[in-house]
Amino acid sequence: MQHGELAHYTYWYDHPPAGWMQLASMSWLPNWLLPDLPTFVQGRFAMLPVAAVSMVLVFVIGRRLGLSRPTAAAAMLLYALSPLAVVLHRQIYLDNFAVLWVLVSMAFALSPRRHLWHHAAAGMAFALAVLSKETIAVLLPVLLVSLWQGSHPSTRKFSFAGFGSGFILTGLFYPLYALLKGELFPGAGHVSLLGTLKFQLGGREGSGSAFADGTDAHQLFTDWLDRDPYLLIGGAAAAVCAFAVRRLRPVAFAVLVLALVALRPGGYLPQMYIVQVLPFLALTVAGLAQALVTRLPGRPHLRTTASLAAVALAAVFAAPHWYEQDRVAMRADDNGVYADAARWLRETPVGDRDRVRIVTDGVLWLDAVDAGYRPGTGVIWHYKLDQDPAVTKTLPHGWRDIDYVVSTAALRGEREHLPTLRDLFAHSTPVATFGEGGGRIDILRIEHDE
């Protein structure tokens, strides 16, 4: 949108487009305020309003689940301050947009006014969630449970009809778009929505069992638990108990559904999946705590004392770990090497940038374009070297037609799978290095005389 040109790779329906559209519509402000930062860092600033609105929605849903203002605020703080949230909310993940729209949908479904348009809006919001990240569709049963509890028995059938109409009519835009492009069904010479869906559901390699050492899923769960064992374990336990409290069943059911999907054997588990679970974990913990306190015998001031004691006990156990994890996350400069590499792309004279050909990963591709390199066949996303015929036909001499490589950890990890990229590493010399260890970025100049 900023450059008025097509993207550098064919859209193959790997994710619905709404999330990218939302990100693009918000990218102008950080680009205007912070023009010297790398593009992906600007994108992280664009994620701040998404995180802020999601936090407010957690409070709203808490109130509509019958939580008191202090308890709903506590749920919001649990969601906002969890070390997992501090790290993941600023990442440019489509899941963050999807979670926001799921929370909007649940807030409408649980609206105390029970207007029909609220329930139709809940369906539309859930469709936008799915169009932002398709995996969030597993929460459809959760939204239906929320709608059941939020609707009046005498008008419930109209509420479900309104929800279904809003969801279907909004969601139909995506398959209709594919149909009009002739890309709904698989066929020779083109991508397709259904073909990609088949790949997403069963064609990609699984992450293994979360209970088996050495699998990707086990490593992910270990990393999540290292960052925040208290909300994950406490929230899971609270979700089991919260089924006994009718008003908390929607959020407890959400935790259960997402946990079953994550633990299914042989499934694919992405790193950002935990983003979808965090708001419901926070709501179940806070909601169950209130339910337990209100059931205590005695006078109200005793319940208040018990609440304060529970908060103090939780703080003793969780606060030191949260403080340390959040402090590291807020102070660590993980983007410094990318900022240095982006500055090198902007400021280093390399000749005619319209003719120089440079290979980057997907993160620094936009920075190279912003620096004046020609998009498409001038600055090349590394995957396209051996996988895109439109690019490979412009490389008749293979690696010799490339001038520079911006070597990042992600790019280095792919060289064994991409022959041309492997040849580039074998015939290059570092001219600049930023950082050290596995996270460093090297600027490699290709030695054409070899």
Question: How many alpha carbons lie under 13 Å from residue 82 in its C-beta half-sphere?
Answer: 33
Q: Is 68 left (phi over 0), alpha (psi -120 to 50) or beta?
A: beta
Residue 335 pLDDT > 90, yes or no? Answer: no
Mean pLDDT of the chain, nearest integer:
89
Buried b (16+ CB within 10 A) or exposed e, 198-230: eeeeeeeeebbbbeeeebbbbbbbeebeebbeb
Chain segment 10-53, per-residue pLDDT in tens: 777 888 989 989 998 888 888 788 877 778 788 888 899 999 99
Region 136-146 average pLDDT: 96
pTM over cut 0.75: yes
| Closest listed residue to residue 363, CA positions, set 18, 95, 92, 6 | 92
Residue 18 has a pLDDT of 93
Please give the angle made by the CA atoms of 152, 156 and 159, to the nearest 5 degrees: 110
Host H or E run for residue 316: helix 300-331
Closest CA to 50 of 203, 279, 238: 279
DSSP 219-273: HHHHHHHHH-HHHHHHHHHHHHHHTTSGGGHHHHHHHHHHHHHHHSTT----GGG
In the predicted model, what is the mean pLDDT of residues 283-306?
79
Check residue 302 and give its pLDDT.
Answer: 67
Q: How many CA atoms lie within 13 A of 28 on its CB side?
A: 6
In the predicted structure, residue 308 carries a pLDDT above the cut 70 = no
- Model pLDDT, residue 148: 97
What is the structure's pLDDT at 5?
67
Q: What angle do CA 143, 144, 146 make, to 5 degrees?
A: 60
Q: What is the mean pLDDT of residues 218-235?
A: 94
Residue 326 CA to residue 81 CA, distance in Å, equals 8
Give strand pairing partners of 404: 358, 445
CB-based contact 149:185 (threshold 8 Å): no
pLDDT 10s digits, 148-179: 999 999 999 999 999 999 999 999 999 999 99
**Among 5-9, 254-258, 302-306, 314-318, the range of highest mean pLDDT:** 254-258
Distance CA 325, CA 367 (A): 30
- Confidence grade of residue 141 (pLDDT, cut at 50, 70, 90): very high
For the segment 59-110, what is each residue's pLDDT rounded down to a tens digit?
Answer: 999 999 999 998 999 999 999 999 999 999 989 999 999 999 999 999 999 9
Read off the pLDDT of residues 200-209 as tens digits, 9 standing for 90 and up: 766 677 888 8
Tokens coding 202: 């069963």
Residue 243: is its pLDDT beyond 70? yes
Percentage above 90 pLDDT, the chain: 56
Nearest alpha-carbon partner for 267 in 171, 202, 329, 353 = 202
φ and ψ of 379, to 5 deg: -100, 120
What pLDDT score does 202 carry?
67
**Segment 212-224, tens digit of pLDDT:** 888 989 999 999 9
Alpha-carbon span 184 to 320, nearest angstrom: 52
CA geometry: angle 292, 296, 302, nearest 5 deg: 115
Determine the straight-line distance between the first and last CA of the chain, rounded to whole angstroms.
41
Average pLDDT over residues 186-205: 81
- Determine the pLDDT at residue 252: 97
- The token duo for 367 is 């920075």
Rounded-to-integer distance, Cα 267 and Cα 34, Å: 40
Reported as a single tens digit per residue, the pLDDT across 360-409 is 998 899 889 889 998 888 999 998 888 888 888 999 999 999 999 999 99
- What is the band of 410 on the pLDDT scale with cuts at 50, 70, 90? confident
DSSP lists the bridge partners of residue 441 as 434
